[in-house]
Structure 1
């Protein structure tokens, strides 16, 4: 089920099928793509990630979604919202993971911008955050390009005790 469409992307819900597990694992299991995470995902971790998002769809009406390149019809990333604890506060966390062969094409910015608008205008969120290790310059640029502001830096115990930036944006008034 398609949630959003941009000029180059379809953003859709995951399904419980083997194809989504296989396609998603090729991304989340890739060492380069996951270089800012504690480690690439095992197949079991990918299945758990997918299941957690399917449950989030039911419980919150949103989750992380598959990012499909229209040109090829292939899954090239993972994007969307999770309710997450960020520096001891529960937030609407906008996350984006792009398969490394597709880096540098502004696809994350295109998708994140569409998701941010969807979060504010369709889901009624009043605040959205994004977090990334301080050395993940590309992720920081995406957050900045979509109008998020760096709120603070904190020690992220969920990611190898790495210093992490917390970016945020509040829903525009009016």
Structure 2
């Protein structure tokens, strides 16, 4: 039985399982889906992403979760919260990746809103951030739709030294 963490109208967000590398790699290796990342992932990179998240579940009780379409049962991306260093500061970072064939359907917004609510109500997080490349307009729209506001811009050494926007929201 797969551990479902969150359920929305159209999605299940759940822990990855070790044998799901194929479905995950199909998304993370796609050059269009991953165009705002330093590069599409190699199989080794996808395996590391999976292993890192499996470890995060054990250590923190959260991480990036598989985003599963309720209608098809297919993994269509991932979404979740990780502890990350953003512009030199430790932050709770909300991130998501959606396979290109599901872009423009509101899936990222649905998943991100659920993760934001989970961060505040279940994890007791007081501040949630998100970061994206300056030209990743779709990600910016998602983050703005869930109430985050741009806090600053910085040069991101972890992503080709490109201009990166940092968004945040506080849990009142």
Does the alignment reach a TM-score above 0.5? yes
For 1:156 and 1:99, the matched residues in 2 are separated by 24
CA-to-aligned-CA distance 1:41-89 (integer Å, 9 cap, x gap) = 0000000000000111111110000000011000001100111000000
Structure 2 length as normaliser, TM-score? Answer: 0.98
Structure 1 length as normaliser, TM-score? Answer: 0.97
Please show how residues 7-156 of structure 1 align to structure 2 within 5 Å: 7-17=9-19, 20-156=20-156
Query: Hey, which bits of structure 1, 4+ residues long, moved more than 4 A?
Result: none
Match of 1:4 among 3, 6, 13: 6
For 1:142, what is the secondary structure of its paired residue? Answer: helix
Q: Which runs of 5+ in 1 are unaligned?
A: none
Q: Which runs of 5+ in 2 are unaligned?
A: none
- Equivalent residues, number: 170
Give 1:160's aligned residue.
Answer: 160
